[in-house]
């Protein structure tokens, strides 16, 4: 019996996906059913803390992120032995468990799959970082990227960026 795939584009997202150590990727992942569960400050902090946890666990270098109410954009570089699918799986699982335990967010937290784009060069990196930092402005949440608390554009989040990696 053939299983119905509720998200027919899932397979296309994985087509040609590769993971290369010490390579940067732009990632977008959405909450299940585009629920705005990350709009609550405590929930957004959990998503940010989970990214920091990934770095502390030696899986990624953080180059930029923005936690929006219903999705997350991030730019990260894979560290030795890390693969993109495993990093995203671990991050989503860790974040979902924390959101459930600390905020009572029911499952599923995340939409299956994610979008990824391998960063080609310094110009591409800057374009992607600008795009993610301006996302809260485009969505009308703030009038300047530096005013959005859950983004590496915010002054309090500058320490989350592994800027040396981009030098």
Could you report the per-residue pLDDT of 97-116, keeping only the tens digit for each? 999 999 999 999 999 999 99
pLDDT < 50 positions in the chain: 1-16
The Cα–Cα gap between 119 and 26 comes to: 7
Nearest to 97 by CA among 111, 112, 109: 109
pLDDT of residue 24: 93
Whether 105 and 19 have beta carbons less than 8 Å apart is answered as: no
Whether 123 and 24 have beta carbons less than 8 Å apart is answered as: no
pLDDT of residue 166: 82
The Cα–Cα gap between 2 and 125 comes to: 41
- Kindly report the pTM of this predicted structure: 0.87
pLDDT of residue 4: 38
pLDDT of residue 18: 64
Please name each of the domains of the chain with its CATH number.
16-122+130-166 (3.30.70.1290)
């Amino acid at each position: 019996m053939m299983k119905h795939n509720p998200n027919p584009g899932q397979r296309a997202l994985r087509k040609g996906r590769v993971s290369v150590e010490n390579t940067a990727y732009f990632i977008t992942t959405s909450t299940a059913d585009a629920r705005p569960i990350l709009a609550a400050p405590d929930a957004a902090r959990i998503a940010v803390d989970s990214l920091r946890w990934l770095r502390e666990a030696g899986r990624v270098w953080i180059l930029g992120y923005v936690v929006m109410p219903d999705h997350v954009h991030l730019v990260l570089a894979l560290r030795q032995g890390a693969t993109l699918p495993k990093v995203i799986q671990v991050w989503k699982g860790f974040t979902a468990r924390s959101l459930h335990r600390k905020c009572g967010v029911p499952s599923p937290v995340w939409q299956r799959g994610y979008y990824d784009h391998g960063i080609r060069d310094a110009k591409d990196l800057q374009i992607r970082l600008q795009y993610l930092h301006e996302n809260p402005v485009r969505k009308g949440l703030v009038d300047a990227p530096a005013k959005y608390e859950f983004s590496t554009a915010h002054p309090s989040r500058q320490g989350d960026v592994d800027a040396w990696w981009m030098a």
